[in-house]
Amino acid sequence: MEQYSRLSALCILLLLRGLCRSFNIDVKKPRIFQGPPEAQFGYKVLQHEAGGEKWMLVGAPWDGTADNRKGDVYKCVLAERNSSTCAKVNLGDMALRNVSTQIRNMHFGMTLVDNRGDGFVACAPLWSQECGTSLFSTGICTQVDGSFQPTGTIAPTAQRCSTYMDIVIVLDGSNSIYPWYEVQNFLSNILSKFFIDPNQIQVGVLQYGEKAVHEWTLQDYQTAEEVVEAAKNISRQEGRETRTAFAIHKACSEAFSPEKGGREGATKLMIVVTDGESHDGDELPAALVECKKRNITRYAIAVLGHYIRRQQDPHSFINEIKYIASDPDEKYFFNVTDEAALNDIVDALGDRIFSLEGTHGYNESSFELEMSQIGFSTHLLEDGILFGTVGAYDWDGAVLKESRHGRVIPPRKAFEKEFPLKLKNHAAYLGYTVSSVRLRNGKCLYVAGAPRFKHKGKVILFEMSNSGQVAISQALTGEQIGSYFGSEVCPVDVNGDGITDVLLVAAPMYLGAQSKETGRVYIYKVGQQRLLTFNGTLRAGKKPQDSRLGYALAAVPDLNHDGFNDVVVGAPLEDGHQGAIYIYHGSRTTILPQYQQRIEASSLHPSLSYFGRSVVGQMDLDGDQLVDLAVGAQGAAVVLRSRRIIQVNVSLAFHPPSINVLQKNCQRHGKDSVCITATVCFRATSRSPGRGDRHFGIRYNVSLDDRKFSTRAVFDATSQKLVQKRLQAGAEAAAPCQSLPFHVIDTTDYLRPVSMMVKFALNDSEPGPVLDERSSTMVKKLIHFFKDCGEDNECITDLVLQANMDLSGSRYDSAGSLERGRHRASLSWSTDPPRLEQASGPCESAGAAENGTSSPLSPPASSPSSLLAPGPGMAPTGLLQSRARGWADSSAFPQVAFLLEFEFSCSFLLNRVQLKLTASSDSIEMNETLHDNTAQPFAYISYEPDLFLSSEATLNRYEVHPAGTFPSSPGPEFKTTIKVSAKGCLSVCPAASSLSATLKAGPVATTLPCAVSFQVTCVLHNWTEATLRGQAGVVPVHPEDLLHTDTLNCSNAWCQVVTCELEQLEKNTEVAVHLLRVIHNDFFRRAKFKTVKITSTFALIAQESSFLVLEESAHRRETVLEIIRPKHIPISLWILIGSIIGGLLLLALIIWGLWKLGFFAHKKAQEEKEEE
């Protein structure tokens, strides 16, 4: 038996792993792709198919140098199973090469979205525009085709800078300009203030005198450094004439033309610098008309140095320059004293030029879409893309739709209903996440989260027209400050009918138990009458820990192949920031809140961290037609494959179908035995789509009978009750079977059928399928013993039962009494041999009396019967069964004796115990013969309560004083207290307590004035009653005879009796009786004695009608009062006189000695002075 237990434990351990394993996402063989962790490799993952190959795309938005985190996307090939490396696509450089030179720290790859088979979209939400002194993070996205080549950019919030200007400087280079280097310094200074860039300012210079020449055109130089260097090298043309009108006309007609680099939409500015009146002034109006026609703004600068040096009046010259400048003159006209003074107006000229920038709002205190960060969140629609613009409107946020029908940008006030304008600058981050839900009526509602709204977060569902009008249908608000409610949303079509059934909303920073950042995911059911209805939250691990559950949400196709779509939730901070993901299954129109599988990073690779920061599962990556998962981590991306789900049905058959112990059909170990062959078959069917051709292994163990029963059958191969096997099977293939021969050992228990139980599990060490979680992994079948009951196999019998009972184990066996606690009853019965056919499995059942709780019957070792009992501790009635092992014949039914233990109730007592015995069998018995199948033996019982009797007195010894010593009185009083305590579990019914106190021996010795008690009724009997009750023959001791008697009790003195009747005494309670007694001094003064003891007796007596039994020795106490008479000793008169005289002589002797020593002498005055 010990060997069997060890083998059974071993087999259970072998199966435990298979039986308790998680479901069908394989964690044994993950594919882990490594990348640079400093680049945030794994921030986003995307499954992608292009060029006939399947890829996993991984975003690394911090890829690049420390001072320029451009970001990029990596592609990981999945066809090569042994490969774990990824190649950089370099999308950041390719996609934005022609967009802008400002691509520093744009974090390309923060968002990856599949474009429904037409490539994918990658975004850089921190892509910025440099406009003058400002840098605007508008964001940008790139469309990428199947060959990983960018096909276009999406930057819907990118705006043309207000510094998008074409500036042409018309410079007078005639002889009168002097010194020329001052003009060069002016050019260098003013040009250094311009933001020269293809997307901002372009500058051209036209120098004139007698003729006009383009020093450089708008398109010649692209940077400020280039134009400043060119200005330093410009030389003066010289000339005797100043043809200003000709130069202005040429500048307006040629310098701003597309051939010279002029740009459509750019602001056109012309700066004219001259030091004298033009020689072609009559042509000036026509030239200015040409400039106005081309919408060219003109700044004019008059240099008065030539006039001042010649002391000429510059009035007409100034009027001409004002005529050239645009109106008003205060803004567009400048004059300086000489060429050197040109540098004094550089700052003023720059301020006036760039004051145009303020008209576009860039220098204002609030923003609209300039910081929108497009691409922070994206959602693919049927007709376009929905963008979240978290930085729009001072980071209150917004959404934007880009479709083939155009661009929809709702104004700020469109969301005023849920985001009041008075709360602006509170940074709600609307658009942190975006999505959409499809209702049953066909309507599509957009979803946007704002996790910082009032610090609790909000999610809105809304409609948006092509004109930008917004109608908000419903808003959800978070419940905890700082939880980031609405940072992730996930609509789920559970049943795949195209209608959204559930909306999941995450609050990953929700503080749970022990102030841990556990996170929380809310479930909202989508309906018609009420749009969203709260339906609980997803449950994760019970251990309180930082988790951030809901940091990533992904709706995935049916993973467990039950017809309903599922959800994967990331928790990247679990297990000390190693991370984990949870898989939740769908059911009908909802998501089950209890997770079905938890995959922790430590089970995949010990170096993984922040596993679950991103997750996606939309396609088959390994070619087995099952959806696989891609999960992002810090510096890694993991592919987890799905496993096929199978159902296994086990069948068990026996040959021969029953056990016939009368016909031995084999020999085992030299003995005739009954041999049976069991055949176990495993039929597997797949629940997953597709056809899997790979076989899988099954390991199983088979056991005979339960372990708690003795061995009746063993397997031939091992001679044990348990055997372990393995086999190979395949889905949709023929069911493999194995034979298991066993034989039955000789035993007396032929009633219970032999059971065979098969437990199985799939071989988890192979990368094969998993077992359906709803499939049973155990099958049990019984093989019965053969019954010889004729051709119809139905046994008809007639049983007769006779029984008697004898109680034992008590001190009162002869009286049929029972002590407290457990006691045994000797029970014997006999069953007459059955008449008619044999009785199969005869059985006797015993029922206990109502107040008794019985434990199982204990048969003698030689008894040919077995006992079946439901178990000990049954109340108020118990049922016990005894079965004869075998079939009824003339020798199978001898007289049977059993010992039955009783443990009676403490609260419900009866005066007898009765058993009802019923004989029955598995055979059929006619109703007319059932009357003699029952017997009811009984016995009368009594109970011995656990009572404790104690007493104490205030006086135990008394000394009798002579007459006249104390004032005249009968004598002292003293109190005796008697206590009765119920220590056991029984509640004692009414009983009597009797006190016999010795009161009189001749004259009165003591008296009993009263007895005091609560809850007890006491009666004080007088002496006449005491005499009549049995003391008529007692002769009290005379006081003169006490010298020869040392004890007074009821045998030699008259006693007064007090009877107290106790009421119901509950367990663990007690009652007390206080007796007040008086000692009579007159009696003992006259008596002749030295010492005498007065003994009083207390006894508990049960009522005659009670079934309580009180043992006299255990419930009887005595108290003793000892009376002492002191001995009189006379004193002689001569002894007294002699003592006085002796004392006086001793005193005189002491005085004489002191006098002789000078004690009484006084010193003279002279002697006292000398001593001083």
Higher pLDDT, 729 or 609: 609
Class of the CATH-defined domain 644-783 = mainly beta
Task: Check pLDDT > 80 for residue 455.
Answer: yes
Of 586, 633, 596, nearest to 612 by C-alpha is 633
Task: Check pLDDT > 80 for residue 594.
Answer: yes
Q: What percent of the chain has pLDDT over 90?
A: 36
Q: What does pLDDT average to over the chain? A: 81
Minimum mean pLDDT among 183-187, 488-492, 508-512, 954-958: which range? 954-958
Of 786, 884, 795, 889, nearest to 834 by C-alpha is 889
Peptide linkage before 328 cis (omega within 30 of 0): yes
Instruction: State whether residue 365 is helix, strand or coil.
Output: coil
CA dist., res. 29 & res. 908, Å (int): 67
679-700, pLDDT tens digit by residue?
Answer: 999 998 888 887 665 678 899 9
> 282: which DSSP letter?
G
Task: Check pLDDT > 60 for residue 1156.
Answer: yes
Task: Check pLDDT > 50 for residue 293.
Answer: yes
Q: What is the pLDDT of residue 831?
A: 55
Q: What is the pLDDT of residue 886?
A: 45
Look at strands 165-172 and 201-208 and give their pairing.
parallel
Classify domain 947-1124 by CATH number.
2.60.40.1530
635-682, pLDDT tens digit by residue?
Answer: 999 999 998 888 899 999 999 988 888 888 898 888 889 999 999 999
Q: What is the mean pLDDT of residues 109-121?
A: 89
Q: What is the pLDDT of residue 1007?
A: 65
Minimum mean pLDDT among 4-18, 418-432, 646-660, 966-980: which range? 4-18
Give the confidence band of 869 by pLDDT, cuts at 50, 70, 90: very low
Task: Check pLDDT > 80 for residue 847.
Answer: no
803-840, pLDDT tens digit by residue?
Answer: 777 665 444 443 444 444 444 555 555 555 555 555 55
Question: Residue 293: exposed, middle, or buried by beta-carbon count in 10 A (0-12, 13-18, 19+)?
Answer: exposed
Task: Check pLDDT > 70 for residue 272.
Answer: yes
Give the confidence band of 1012 by pLDDT, cuts at 50, 70, 90: low
The answer to whether residues 376 and 111 touch, using CB atoms and an 8 Å cutoff, is: yes
Minimum mean pLDDT among 541-545, 780-784, 1001-1005, 1098-1102: which range? 1001-1005
> 253: which DSSP letter?
I
Beta bridge mates, 843: 883, 920
Q: What is the pLDDT of residue 43?
A: 97
Look at strands 1070-1079 and 1006-1013 and give their pairing.
antiparallel
Q: What is the pLDDT of residue 1163?
A: 60
457-470, pLDDT tens digit by residue?
Answer: 999 999 999 888 99
310-359, pLDDT tens digit by residue?
Answer: 888 899 999 999 999 999 999 999 999 888 888 888 888 888 887 644 33
CA dist., res. 400 & res. 388, Å (int): 6
Helix, strand, coil tally for the chain in percent (to 5): 15, 40, 45
Q: What is the pLDDT of residue 1006?
A: 65
Rg of the chain over all Cα atoms, to the nearest angstrom: 58
Q: Which of 152-156, 249-253, 910-914, 920-924 has the highest mean pLDDT?
A: 249-253
Task: Check pLDDT > 80 for residue 1165.
Answer: no
Q: What is the pLDDT of residue 963?
A: 64
Minimum mean pLDDT among 189-198, 290-299, 460-469: which range? 189-198
Task: Give 791-826 as a DSSP string.
Answer: TTT--EEEEEEEEEEEEESSTTGGGT---SSEEEEE
Task: Check pLDDT > 60 for residue 364.
Answer: no
CA dist., res. 149 & res. 135, Å (int): 28
Q: What is the mean pLDDT of residues 1085-1091?
A: 77
CA dist., res. 626 & res. 317, Å (int): 87
The answer to whether residues 109 and 77 touch, using CB atoms and an 8 Å cutoff, is: no
Q: What is the pLDDT of residue 1164?
A: 60
Higher pLDDT, 56 or 1087: 56
Neighbours of 263 (CB within 10 A): 17
Q: What is the pLDDT of residue 652?
A: 94
The pTM of this model reads: 0.66
**Who's near 273: CB < 8 A, 6+ residues apart?**
169, 170, 171, 172, 183, 186, 301, 303, 342
614-632, pLDDT tens digit by residue?
Answer: 999 999 888 888 999 999 9
Q: What is the pLDDT of residue 482?
A: 94
Give the confidence band of 1083 by pLDDT, cuts at 50, 70, 90: confident
Higher pLDDT, 922 or 999: 922
Pick the CATH number of 165-360 from 3.40.50.410, 2.40.110.10, 1.10.132.20, 3.40.1130.10: 3.40.50.410
Q: What is the pLDDT of residue 951?
A: 84
Higher pLDDT, 896 or 444: 444
Class of the CATH-defined domain 796-940 = mainly beta
| Phi, psi dihedrals of residue 983, rounded to the nearest 5° | -95, -25
Q: What is the mean pLDDT of residues 101-115?
A: 83
Instruction: State whether residue 848 is helix, strand or coil.
Output: coil
Residue in the block written with tokens 């087995």: 624
The answer to whether residues 864 and 803 touch, using CB atoms and an 8 Å cutoff, is: no
Task: Check pLDDT > 90 for residue 450.
Answer: yes
Q: Two tokens at 471?
A: 């109608």
The answer to whether residues 600 and 30 touch, using CB atoms and an 8 Å cutoff, is: no
CA dist., res. 289 & res. 243, Å (int): 17
Q: What is the mean pLDDT of residues 413-419?
A: 90
The angle subtended at Cα 661 by Cα 657 and Cα 662, nearest 5°, is 115
Give the confidence band of 580 by pLDDT, cuts at 50, 70, 90: very high
Q: What is the pLDDT of residue 447?
A: 98
Sheet of 520-526, strands arranged across: 488-492, 502-507, 520-526, 532-537
Minimum mean pLDDT among 29-43, 124-138, 442-456, 579-593: which range? 124-138
Sign of CA pseudo-dihedral 319, 320, 321, 326: positive
Beta bridge mates, 1011: 1075
Give the confidence band of 112 by pLDDT, cuts at 50, 70, 90: very high
722-746, pLDDT tens digit by residue?
Answer: 999 998 888 777 888 999 999 998 7
Q: What is the pLDDT of residue 956?
A: 82
